[in-house]
Amino acid sequence: MTTRARVARRDWIEAAYQELAGAGERGVTINALAARLGVTKGSFYWHFTDRPELMRALLDRWAHERTDEVLALSLGSTTEPRERLRRIQALGREVAPIDRAMRLWAQHEPAAEEAVRHADRALLGHIAACLEDLGFGAEEARLRALLMLRAWVGGYLIPDGSDPGLYDTTLDILLARPR
Amino acid sequence: MTTRARVARRDWIEAAYQELAGAGERGVTINALAARLGVTKGSFYWHFTDRPELMRALLDRWAHERTDEVLALSLGSTTEPRERLRRIQALGREVAPIDRAMRLWAQHEPAAEEAVRHADRALLGHIAACLEDLGFGAEEARLRALLMLRAWVGGYLIPDGSDPGLYDTTLDILLARPR
DNA sequence: GCCGGACCATACTTGGGAGTATGGTCTCCG
DNA sequence: CGGAGACCATACTCCCAAGTATGGTCCGGC
């Protein structure tokens, strides 16, 4: 038969990652993960010393994933700035659940805040680079990149904040030159 | 002597409101409020039947306050649209702590989400009205109002997201006409 | 075939916050 | 003065998630 329910350390991390994306940080509870994995807490406390260790592993996993994604963006096939910005938006829609969970978590956990800060620095750098390619000055590009990111994550905190027509036109607005 | 530590129902609500703004929803705990007020839980459960009743009262208090503020905006002295938008931003800075706490709370509490939704509808309406005064079409005004709000609350979720130069220029960007 | 270590189940204990039961104190009013 | 009701303190119980203790099972190596 197919080897009993033995799970590895990465299985716990993966399950926790799913739970984090779906239910937020306080949703990732040992018992819930155990149930999801078909084992009990006994397994968990063999692979980890305590919950904080698991959460640190989550931070690590997310940081790496996010780094890879942003790297893939900057290594993308096209060099057309506007298309690159559109791909950033597309990525944003993909990672929305986990991204949102991470940012909410970062509100009351300094370690998570630090991870988000670091990831945002990279992402903002990439966005700003695209804007500079479009002819904006360095400082202007920085400001608009930050504005673009804020406009994006702001959607997490606004009920009914997902106007279908918004994503199509937000770039137009953010890229309009001052007169 | 100055009448013992007798507190009224509104004192509990006020203390809870402070705690909500400062420590978030899960920070408003009965014992913490009791300590802050110099009484014990016995007092609380005389004025309220349970914690949900207190939280509903908080929602109410916030909704009224927010309604008054937005009303004051639309009844403001000036009629110059751009100045009105600047005052909205100024209000945003004032109410940032409680606004942020409410939105975070709304992430896992339907009643809070409903309150935020309702308040946002009014605020967005007011912003959009200013934008229409500036010559934008109705639909365009709606979109830009939403974008402005998202850009604002997005700052809550971005570490180091408070660039000093941002508030000065964000209006310029949001008000630039498409070419 | 059996032994040691990897892995997990069971059954605890602990800590913190919500909620309850009950009795005490002040104040006002008759 | 003497209750009645408003208001609060004390001391519980309940619940839930984290963490611990301990014993059981499986599997590879000798």
- Summarize pLDDT for B59-90 with one digit per residue, the tens: 999 999 999 999 999 898 898 999 999 999 99
B161 pLDDT band, cuts 50/70/90, is confident
For chain A, give the DSSP string. Answer: ----S---HHHHHHHHHHHHHHH-GGG--HHHHHHHHTS-HHHHHHH-SSHHHHHHHHHHHHHHHHHHHHHHHHT-S---HHHHHHHHHHHHHHTHHHHHHHHHHTTT-HHHHHHHHHHHHHHHHHHHHHHHHTT--HHHHHHHHHHHHHHHHHGGGSTT---TTHHHHHHHHHHPPP-
**Measuring from the CA of residue B49 to each C1', which nucleotide is nearest?**
C19
- A135 close to A126: Cβ distance less than 8 angstroms: no
Q: What is the per-residue pLDDT for B4?
A: 56
Q: Kindly tell me if the per-residue pLDDT of B5 is higher than 60.
A: yes
Q: What is the per-residue pLDDT for B177?
A: 83
Taking each helix axis from N to C end, the angle separating B9-23 and B51-74, rounded to the nearest 10 degrees, works out to 80
Q: Kindly tell me if the per-residue pLDDT of B15 is higher than 60.
A: yes
Whole-angstrom Cα distance, residue B65 to residue B69?
A: 6
Q: How far is the CA of A43 from the C1' of D30 (A)?
A: 29
Quick one: average pLDDT of B81-109? 96
What amino acid is encoded at A142 in this protein? R
Closest by CA to A122, choosing from A57, A65, A58, A55, is A65
Quick one: average pLDDT of B84-99? 96
Residue A39 Cβ under 7 A from any strand C atom: yes
A26 pLDDT band, cuts 50/70/90, is very high
Q: Kindly tell me if the per-residue pLDDT of A1 is higher than 50.
A: no
Higher-confidence residue: A107 or A77?
A107
B178 pLDDT band, cuts 50/70/90, is confident
Quick one: average pLDDT of B20-32? 98
Q: What is the per-residue pLDDT for B3?
A: 52
Those residues of chain B whose CB sits closer than 8 Å to some CB in chain A are 24, 103-104, 106-108, 113-114, 116-117, 120, 139, 142-144, 146-147, 149-161, 163, 165-166, 169-170, 172-174, 176-179
How close B147 gets to chain A, by Cα (Å)? Answer: 6
- B122 close to B70: Cβ distance less than 8 angstroms: yes
Rounded to the nearest integer, the mean pLDDT of chain A is 94
Rounded to the nearest integer, the mean pLDDT of chain B is 94
Q: What is the per-residue pLDDT for A179?
A: 57
Whole-angstrom Cα distance, residue B38 to residue B31?
A: 10
Q: Kindly tell me if the per-residue pLDDT of A3 is higher than 80.
A: no
Quick one: average pLDDT of B114-136? 97
